[in-house]
Amino acid sequence: MSLPRRTFLRALGPGVGTIAILGPVIGQRKSKLHFPDAAKKILIAHRGASAYAPEHTLYSYRLALQQGADFVEQDLQITRDGQLVCLHDLTLERTTNVKDVFPKRYREEMVQGVAARRWFVSDFTLKEIKQLDAGSWFAPKFKGASVPTFQEAIALVRGKAGLYPETKAPEVYGRMGFDMERLLLDSLQKNQLGTPSSERHTPLIVQSFSAASLRKLSSLLPAKLPLVLLVNEEARGEWLTVAGLAEAKKFASGIGPAKALLDRGLVQQAHAHRLTVTPYTFRLSDKGQFRTLADEMSYYLYDLGVDALFTDNPDLFPRTKIGSRP
């Protein structure tokens, strides 16, 4: 049986848990954020509404809000001048026109025995990255979309939904002399986020594949912030066991496994350790044997009992149980 929404929020942290229980404080301006009731599940827009707009652009984030996302995800990278930007990859060539704008600014690396040219975020200043077109690769109508800073994402999302940043490859950036966790915490403090009072209008959850990053965040935080450990196939043996879940509970509030790694028993084990379960990623191109994507999401939410999920298609998220098993 899945955790009801109120329990899900309490498990994530004391600040988050007050949202659905207390609502807006009397005398304060009414928040624009409308949560579903305690029986509902949590919708995280994966890179925004990335099925319909270029991932990690303000277009994608804005559409996610329009489609009812409870949280909007931001993958974090660091520019050469130490600015947090929202981008999934360590490099720029997949989702921008960096090859055209800065044709000689690549690094050559061997990828599976083949030389490849790569344009790393960390080799460019924020000013340079802002010159890039991050929308045309997806569709011509998005030409001119830029890579947003984390600050721009905060400004757009706050008061309308929750923020769900990921510390992306923090060890890679650490070897370059950057402290991603400190940069993130400085940004949160600057914006007065991650506090019990801010959770009423802009809840915050931080995720990472790096247990070390989450441990560091846990030790740096003055108050408990919800932290979710992402788990891929490579790490399943380390974390998706009774011993692994017990260890994860020492520094995290939940786990975020690849959806193929989950079954009902694992969800129940995680809940027994008071860990929430948020699988990734649900999209039309990867619905397996299910008739529709909504059927697949419904199965994970209401049959397996997960508490939340990441999807590229926020508009298809089933707020109540539908469909059946494949």
Q: Is 86 helix (H, G, I), strand (E, B) or coil?
A: strand
Let me know if 88 is a catalytic residue.
yes
> Are 287 and 296 in contact, with CB atoms under 8 Å apart?
yes
> Are 70 and 161 in contact, with CB atoms under 8 Å apart?
yes
**Distant-in-sequence contacts of 315-324, Cβ < 8 A, 24+ apart:** 315/49, 315/67, 315/68, 316/292, 317/43, 317/68, 318/294, 319/36, 319/40, 319/41, 320/40, 322/294, 322/295, 322/298, 323/290, 323/291, 323/292, 323/294, 323/295, 323/298, 323/299, 324/295, 324/299
> Are 12 and 278 in contact, with CB atoms under 8 Å apart?
no
Task: List, as one string, the DSSP characters of 233-257.
Answer: GGGHHHHSSHHHHHHHTTT-SEEEE
Place of tokens 């986020």: 193
Out of 46, 56, 201, 271, the active site residue is: 46
> Are 158 and 115 in contact, with CB atoms under 8 Å apart?
no
Q: Exposed, middle or buried by CB within 10 Å (0-12, 13-18, 19+), for 117?
A: middle
Write the CA distances from 13 to 73, 195, 196, 255, 274, integer angstroms.
18, 10, 9, 14, 11
> Are 312 and 50 in contact, with CB atoms under 8 Å apart?
yes
Task: Give CA torsion, residues 21, 22, 24, 25, to 10 deg.
Answer: -170
Let me know if 271 is a catalytic residue.
no
Out of 56, 88, 201, 271, the active site residue is: 88
Q: How far apart are CA 219 and CA 286, in angstroms?
A: 37
Which residues are part of the catalytic machinery?
46, 88
